[in-house]
Amino acid sequence: LKELPTDPEFTSFKNHLLRQLYQTVKLDEITIPSYLKATESEVDRILKLAIIQKESHSTILVGPRGGYKSFLLSHTLAKISRKYDNQYITIRLNGYVHSEQTAINGIATQIEQQLRKINASRNNSKKESVDISSGSLTEVFEKILRLLDSATFNTERPSDKRKNKDTSKITVIFIFDEIDTFAGPVRQTLLYNLFDMVEHARIPVCIFGCTTKLNFLDYLEKRVKSRFSQRIINIPQIKTLKEFSETIKESLIVPDSESNAKDRQYTTQWNETITNIIQDDNSQLSKILKTNFETFKSMDRLKYSMVPFIHSSPSFENLLSELHSCNQIIEYETNQRTNDLTGKVRSLSDLELAILISTARAAMKTKDESVNFNFAYAEYEEMIKSLNVRIPTMVHSNSSESKNSIIVDNAIKLWSKKDIKNIWESILSLDLMAEKGNVGLRESAIAVFYASNYQFQGTMAPFDLRLYQMQVTLQELRKIVPRSSIYYPWTQL
């Protein structure tokens, strides 16, 4: 576990590369994929309209997970904030973290914090202590509404006058993640009020919502929909393999800048190699790119698979050779798959496999493919008995007086029903079987609460009568179990 030997310049190059993959490099060095450039300028335009021109807007960004929605917003905001830092406050809400009720408090707290920060930076006396977040929920909501909706915002104005010459108002930018959770089936009060502000408030309010739902507009109530400005930005997707590898190339190429000047010796060589490898259709990396494009089309997965080898390379030559062979990327991908059904079945002991096969056989024989412990054990017993009959080396010593002393040496042991219960439970815990009619993980905390107050029929029944369903069928088992296994012939009815 010892640390790797370090060449400081190489280490800093490596770290820069990793930062680039995580997109945590300095603001100017962040490369935005070229297929997103148009979208970025659109977002930029809307934000600048809101912050500089003080216009009110509402926009929804629609795109799949990992589609750079939040990234585009925060990146553009960060760029703007360098020039117009005090012109706006940002309020971030997340549909997972905030509910309709708590979002109100969340908004209040964030307004308070942000205003305090702006006031502090304008170093005026803290005479107007913004106190929004205290009080009951209705009070808080009223305060927010009054603050955002009306002219009482002049608590802020005098300070503006003193510092900035123009009397511009502060733009409030709302960023909603998972805005579809606020557009629930009942009421949608929060969205109604906020969209209403966009229309009527005297201070500029800009609302950005990110969602993955393509039919987001159908979620909205009629009155909410009519207040929304109908601007929906669909985040573009990568369409071709060429675009995909181009994007990967962009994110891997290290730009020449002052900050990484000292490892320039590596930069040029690295960029050259990357370009060559990606252009070469027969290279290992291009093959991996192609597989990824045709299966996941996930930039994140590809990037994360590169992290281990970039980090662990002891030298630059090693890094380049790893890039050529891609062994560690393949290793990462293999590791991701070791815990799937196949991996689990392969990791079973022989007894566990025997029980799994006999359970699958028993399940095949029933009408609704459900099985209980009794059936599985009966099947197992039958299987072992007929296996033992067929084993030629076993000699029945029927001649002597003891009938029940079989020569066990060559026979396969038939475990008792009591012992098999342990196996049954471990197959269950491996998720190779599931209780019949089991709902599994509930969607929300409320559903969990209801479920935990309900006693299920299955838990009442005795152990060996509970009904289960297989997660892996006999046909699938036949493909997984190696032909050399003695149980292989039993993977067929």
Partner 1 sequence: MVAVLHRDYQIKALRAFIQKDAALVPPNMIIEGHTCTGKTHVLTQFFQIHPDIITSWVRPIELVSWKPVLQAVARSVQNSLRATYPGVQSEEFDPLDVEEAYLLVKFLTNLFEEYSSLSEDRTLFVIFDGLDSLEDLDAMLLLKFLKLYELLPETSRIKLKFIYVVQNSAFVSRYASYGIPSIVFPIYNIDEVTDIIIANRAPELWESSCLHDQLQSQNIVNCTTEQLYSLVVNFLQLIIQSFGSYTGNNISSLNDFIDFKWEDYVKAITPQNVFEPVQLYRCTSKLFTNTDDTLSTEDENIHNNTNDAGQQDSNSATQTYELSNIAKYLLISAYICSYMEPKYDPSVFSKKTHLRSGRSAYGRRKKKETNPRYIQPSLFVIERLLAIFQSIYPVETNSESGSLASLKEDHLMRSNVEVFQNISELYDLKLLGTTMTKNIDYLSFKLKWKVNVPWETINEIASSVNFELGQYFSSIHE
Nearer to partner 1, 19 or 264 (CB): 19
Nearer to partner 1, 38 or 461 (CB): 461
| Sheet strands side by side (includes 433-435) | 370-371, 468-470, 433-435
Residues 6+ apart with CB under 8 A from 237: 63, 64, 67
Q: Say if CB 324 and CB 283 are below 8 A apart.
A: yes
CA torsion angle 438 441 447 449 (round to 10):
90
- Rounded to a whole number of angstroms, the minimum distance from the CB of residue 160 to partner 1 is 23
| CA-to-CA separations, 240 to 34, 46, 110, 246, 293, in angstroms, rounded | 13, 29, 42, 10, 8
- Rounded to a whole number of angstroms, the minimum distance from the CB of residue 372 to partner 1 is 7
- Rounded to a whole number of angstroms, the minimum distance from the CB of residue 218 to partner 1 is 22
Type of residue at 10: F
| CA-to-CA separations, 238 to 31, 35, 72, 74, 247, in angstroms, rounded | 16, 7, 16, 21, 9
- Rounded to a whole number of angstroms, the minimum distance from the CB of residue 413 to partner 1 is 8
Bridge partners of 470?
433
Task: Say how far apart CA 10 and CA 13 lie, in whole Å.
Answer: 5
User: Tokens at residue 226, please?
Assistant: 């009519």
Provide the CB-side half-sphere exposure for 28 (13 A, CA): 6
One-character DSSP codes across 153-172: GGGTHHHHHHHSSS-PPPEE
Nearer to partner 1, 16 or 227 (CB): 16
Bridge partners of 172?
89, 205
Nearer to partner 1, 401 or 443 (CB): 443
Q: What residue has token string 């054990």?
A: 377
Nearer to partner 1, 282 or 454 (CB): 454
The closest alpha carbon to 419, from 471, 354, 368, belongs to: 354
**Which letter does DSSP use for residue 400 in this model?**
S
Residues 6+ apart with CB under 8 A from 423: 351, 352, 355, 415
Nearer to partner 1, 282 or 402 (CB): 402
**Which letter does DSSP use for residue 178 in this model?**
S
Kindly give the residue spans of alpha helices, DSSP state H, lying in 259-390: 264-279, 284-294, 299-312, 316-325, 327-337, 341-346, 350-365, 373-390
Nearer to partner 1, 154 or 426 (CB): 426
Nearer to partner 1, 56 or 211 (CB): 211
- Rounded to a whole number of angstroms, the minimum distance from the CB of residue 157 to partner 1 is 26
Task: Say how far apart CA 67 and CA 60 lie, in whole Å.
Answer: 14
What stretch of H or E contains 61? strand 57-62
Nearest 5°: phi and psi at 93? -130, 145
Beta carbons within 10 angstroms of residue 399's beta carbon? 5
Nearer to partner 1, 97 or 391 (CB): 97
Nearer to partner 1, 208 or 228 (CB): 208
- Rounded to a whole number of angstroms, the minimum distance from the CB of residue 455 to partner 1 is 8
User: Tokens at residue 166, please?
Assistant: 């123009």
- Rounded to a whole number of angstroms, the minimum distance from the CB of residue 184 to partner 1 is 14
- Rounded to a whole number of angstroms, the minimum distance from the CB of residue 457 to partner 1 is 6
User: Tokens at residue 424, please?
Assistant: 């049954």
- Rounded to a whole number of angstroms, the minimum distance from the CB of residue 312 to partner 1 is 6
- Rounded to a whole number of angstroms, the minimum distance from the CB of residue 150 to partner 1 is 26
Nearer to partner 1, 142 or 350 (CB): 350
Nearer to partner 1, 19 or 225 (CB): 19
Nearer to partner 1, 152 or 347 (CB): 347
- Rounded to a whole number of angstroms, the minimum distance from the CB of residue 313 to partner 1 is 10
- Rounded to a whole number of angstroms, the minimum distance from the CB of residue 112 to partner 1 is 10
- Rounded to a whole number of angstroms, the minimum distance from the CB of residue 309 to partner 1 is 8
The closest alpha carbon to 242, from 22, 68, 35, 20, belongs to: 35
Could you report how far apart the first and last alpha carbons of the chain are, in Å?
50
**Which letter does DSSP use for residue 180 in this model?**
G
